[in-house]
Amino acid sequence: MGVSLRQDVVWLLPFFILLVTLNLRPARGQVCPQRCECVAKLKTVSCHGKRLSALPDGIPLDTKILDLSANKLRWVEHGDLISFSNVEKLDLGENMISVLEPNAFSSLQSLQSLSLRGNQLKLIPTGAFSHLSNLTSLDLSGNKLVILLDFTFQDLKSLRNLEVGDNDLVYISNKAFLGLVALRELTIERCNLTSVSSQSLSYLHNLVTLRLRYLGISTLEDQNFRKLGNLRGLEIDHWPFLEYVTPHSLQGLNLSWLSITHTNITCVPTSALRSLSHLTSLNLSFNPISVLESWSLRDLLRLKELHLVGTRLATVQPYALGGLRQIRLLNLSANNLVTLEEAAFQSVNSLETLRLDGNPLACDCRLLWILQRRKTLNFDGASPVCMTPLEVQGRSLGAFSDAALFDHFTCQKPKIRNRKLQQISAREGQVVSFVCRAEGEPTPVIFWISPQRRRITTKSSGRLTVLKEGTLEIRYAQVMDTGTYICIASNAGGNDTYFATLTVSGLPLDAALMANRTYYAGDLNDTNLNDTRVFLKFTLDLKTILISTAMGCIMFLGVVLFCFILLFVWSRGKGQHKNNFSVEYSFRKVDGPATSGGQGGARKFNMKMI
């Protein structure tokens, strides 16, 4: 019985206290300004929304929390607040204050939190916040500040949180933030700033989070955030004029999260990210990034989360996520992806959560890896949905049964059509083309390998290029172009190869073409040649290798035989009987047009006639 009685008492206790406090106020004769509400126990005075145009009389001197928000106060003078040295929290938000006097708050030595949000302040005079060494939070957002002057905050050595958003700021003076040694969070948003200089930020040694939102800034300086060595999170959001993140702009930072969203950047800022080896989360959502290139995040060794939502992403290249051994969450929701191949990852084993919904996915063998993991992979409540082929349109990847797997998620190996041997003899200067068409599902990619084992693709520029439908075009053929060309058609289902040979003889067509050749010599020094100089990685099937080797051998033997016959005829004709010959054989280096300048090496062959 006794126990249950005590429980009842405990239940009633809060009501009891409330009653006592309500009764005590008038009883003790505590003062409270007219129209305001006071809670004496908490030393709180609230005059929110009372149309006050001046500080009301009768505020108790020991007040700790003073709320004067949403009134019609126009200014704050030193004298107004002189007797409230106990106030810890002062809210002057949503008033009409346009003028602050120097030392306006200097008597409030216990002040920890001050809000001046939503007033009409245009300028903060130096000294307005002097002596507020215990202030930890200051809100100046929603005013009409145009400039932050040097030394504005110099006494605020305990300030941890500063809001200066939603002003008309056009300039932050270099020393404006001097003295803010304890500041941990800073938000600057919706201002007319065109830069946030590294000099002004350099005083914020202990800043942990910096948010820069809705700004018209178009470039970041080199080392824009230097000296912010303790910064862990940086948010750059809604910068419509930012098109490029310069390589050294993030240098000096050691971030654990970075968010660059709603800007106009069109590619992943690989070189800027290079120094951020402790980054664990990267958000690049809502930027017009259509291609995620190979190894573009390679230096982010510790990255666990990558968000690329709504970026119009259409291609994720092989090894796009190369280097990210710890990636756990990948959010590619709402993009233009047709597929996401396993080859994009360093390893998919670390992946736990994948969002691929809102993409026009083709459910072929390239997505098989997701299907195989559909029971363990977390789709975050939004399973990817097939767009093609028609039979499975609209079906969610999570909903396929094991039996249905290999009926749908298949690819058709490329097959090169019309395999007739193409052998072309051309004269120097002519345009030569070799056809290579292939079919397969998904549509095969076609590229060619030159006799020098260079890879020629539709992106190659210079004399040798591959046209859209797979045709190899060699403009202004040169003798060194002679040899066997291999066409490779490749898709996720496999690849098919095919070869063609070209012989170019050294006689130019006419002088006019010679002129055109010199004109095109510009191609030869071509810096773009570099990207075609990719080492041949493909394991060609044996047949192709044998045949191309054979072709090469036959041609070589032919030339040698021809030389021998010439020599023989010549020696007979001259009737000479020496049996030692010194033949000088000059040949061109084989690494391409770049060295066609003609300084081919000369070798000597000594032969004995028998």
Ligand X SMILES: *[C@@H]1O[C@H](CO)[C@@H](O)[C@H](O)[C@H]1NC(C)=O
Position 596 contacts ligand X (CB under 6 A): no
Report, in Å, the least distance between residue 169 CB and ligand X.
8
Which one, of 445, 467, 447, lies nearest residue 457 by Cα? 447
Q: Which of 222, 380, 407, 469 binds ligand X (CB under 6 A)?
A: 380
Position 125 contacts ligand X (CB under 6 A): no
Q: What angle do CA 402, 405, 406 make, to 5 degrees?
A: 135
What is the pattern of x (binds ligand X, CB under 6 A) and - over residues 284-303? Answer: -xx-----------------
Position 29 contacts ligand X (CB under 6 A): no
Q: Which of 31, 54, 170, 607 binds ligand X (CB under 6 A)?
A: 170
Neighbours of 418 (CB within 10 A): 9
Position 383 contacts ligand X (CB under 6 A): no
Report, in Å, the least distance between residue 52 CB and ligand X.
27
Report, in Å, the least distance between residue 31 CB and ligand X.
24
Report, in Å, the least distance between residue 582 CB and ligand X.
37
Helix (H) or strand (E) segment spanning residue 449: strand 445-449
Q: Which of 101, 298, 538, 594 binds ligand X (CB under 6 A)?
A: 538
Contact call for residues 302 and 277 (beta carbons, < 8 A): yes
For residues 254 and 33, give the distance between their C-alpha atoms in angstroms, rounded to a whole number: 51
Report, in Å, the least distance between residue 386 CB and ligand X.
20
Position 134 contacts ligand X (CB under 6 A): yes
The length of the chain is 610
User: How many residues sit close enough to ligand X to count as binding (CB under 6 A)?
Assistant: 40
Report, in Å, the least distance between residue 554 CB and ligand X.
27
Q: Which of 331, 339, 465, 484 binds ligand X (CB under 6 A)?
A: 331
Helix, strand, coil in percent for the chain, rounding step 5: 20, 25, 55
Q: Which of 16, 241, 406, 562 binds ligand X (CB under 6 A)?
A: 241
Q: Which of 46, 98, 113, 254 binds ligand X (CB under 6 A)?
A: 254
> What distance lies between CA 101 and its chain's CA centroid?
46
Position 353 contacts ligand X (CB under 6 A): yes
Report, in Å, the least distance between residue 494 CB and ligand X.
5
Position 525 contacts ligand X (CB under 6 A): yes
First to last CA, the chain: 130
The string of DSSP codes covering 274-337 is: TT-TT--EEE-TTS---EE-TTTTTT-TT--EEE--SS---EE-TTTBTT-TT--EEE--SS--
Candidates 293-301, 327-335, 359-367, 391-399 — which segment interacts with ligand X by CB under 6 A?
Answer: 327-335
Token code pair at residue 218:
């178009």
Candidates 36-44, 63-71, 235-243, 366-374 — which segment interacts with ligand X by CB under 6 A?
Answer: 235-243
Position 261 contacts ligand X (CB under 6 A): yes
Position 342 contacts ligand X (CB under 6 A): no
> Which residue's entry shows tokens 């500041």?
183
**Position 144: which residue type?**
K
Candidates 44-52, 177-185, 197-205, 281-289 — which segment interacts with ligand X by CB under 6 A?
Answer: 281-289
Position 513 contacts ligand X (CB under 6 A): yes
Is the link from the previous residue into 14 a cis peptide, with omega within 30 of 0? no
**Which residue lies nearer to ligand X by CB, 46 or 412?**
412
Contacts 24+ apart (CB under 8 A), 80-85: 80/55, 81/55, 81/105, 81/107, 81/108, 82/107, 83/107, 84/59, 84/108, 85/109, 85/110
> What distance lies between CA 357 and its chain's CA centroid?
20
**Which residue lies nearer to ligand X by CB, 109 or 294?**
109
Candidates 181-189, 320-328, 522-530, 598-606 — which segment interacts with ligand X by CB under 6 A?
Answer: 522-530
List the interface residues with ligand X, window 142-161 (CB under 6 A): 146
Neighbours of 121 (CB within 10 A): 19
Q: Which of 141, 154, 200, 259 binds ligand X (CB under 6 A)?
A: 259
Q: Which of 44, 86, 103, 109 binds ligand X (CB under 6 A)?
A: 109
Contact call for residues 343 and 366 (beta carbons, < 8 A): no
For residues 177 and 200, give the distance between their C-alpha atoms in angstroms, rounded to a whole number: 6
Q: How far is CA 443 from CA 223, 336, 446, 455, in A?
A: 45, 17, 9, 20
Q: Which residues pair with 422 in a beta bridge?
A: 500
Position 194 contacts ligand X (CB under 6 A): no
Position 137 contacts ligand X (CB under 6 A): no
Position 355 contacts ligand X (CB under 6 A): yes
Candidates 88-96, 197-205, 257-265, 599-607 — which segment interacts with ligand X by CB under 6 A?
Answer: 257-265
Contacts 24+ apart (CB under 8 A), 521-529: 523/461, 523/462, 523/463, 523/593, 524/462, 524/463, 524/593, 524/594, 524/596, 525/594, 526/461, 526/462, 526/593, 526/594, 528/460, 528/461, 528/462, 529/462, 529/592, 529/593, 529/594
Position 336 contacts ligand X (CB under 6 A): no
Candidates 47-55, 237-245, 359-367, 433-441 — which segment interacts with ligand X by CB under 6 A?
Answer: 237-245
Q: Which of 14, 26, 29, 522 binds ligand X (CB under 6 A)?
A: 522
Report, in Å, the least distance between residue 476 CB and ligand X.
9
Residues at the site binding ligand X, with contacts judged by CB under 6 A: 109-110, 133-134, 146, 168, 170, 192, 237, 240-241, 254, 256, 259, 261, 264, 278, 283, 285-286, 307, 309, 329, 331, 333, 353, 355, 380, 490, 494-495, 512-513, 516, 522, 525, 527, 530, 538-539
